A = this chain, B = another copy of it.
């Protein structure tokens, strides 16, 4: 593949079905990959370095932050997490579209460091439907579900700077929307002027 890939950032409330939409859209395609994060936390049983995460020590992490080698990063409890710029750049140069599933704060950092990223916000058709999905998922207590719904409302208010908004009502349609966006972004006039020479 000669054409460079696109960095595709997806955000949206927990329960919106972000990864389901993307997996459906990229089924059978070999020009997509997910970004792999670095973390300072220890691998859990079964986790493989470079698959779930790149496991690095605190010293390396701090150096990467300092030298601007992370497109975004955040601390959770005592551990650092981040998206390594070099990994993303390498995949893009290989012609892969790199999907990055992150929260609004991280998305904002990515946008400032890589303005050409394609930013997609994915939402459920309604808060009632989101509640139903979270209940059906069966992994959260009712209290946790209320917390997620409250957080979703905050996210709606904070979301800005995204390029596209997909409503995940029917999964096939949402996946088609995702695919159409990626196709269109690869047709950008400004990126293809060489074809006019």
A interface residue numbers (CB < 8 A to B): 119, 121, 123, 156-157, 159, 162-167, 176-177, 179-181, 183-185, 187-189, 192-193, 195-197
Contact B187 A165 (CB under 8 A): yes
Contacts of A177 in B (CB 8 A): 183-184, 187
Given A180-B183, A183-B180, CB of A196 within 8 Å of CB of B156: yes
Total copies of this chain within the assembly: 2
* A1: min CB distance to chain B, Å: 16
Contact B188 A164 (CB under 8 A): yes
Residue of B nearest to A197 (CB): B156
Contacts of A189 in B (CB 8 A): 119, 121, 159, 162-165
Given contact pairs A156-B196, A157-B196, A165-B196, a sample of 7 additional A-B residue pairs in the complex whose CB atoms are under 8 Å apart: A159-B189, A163-B189, A164-B189, A167-B195, A177-B187, A180-B181, A180-B183
Can you list 20 contacts pairing A with B, beta carbon distance less than 8 Å? Answer: A123-B195, A159-B196, A163-B188, A163-B189, A164-B184, A164-B187, A165-B188, A165-B189, A165-B192, A165-B193, A165-B195, A165-B196, A176-B183, A177-B183, A180-B181, A180-B184, A180-B187, A181-B187, A183-B184, A184-B184
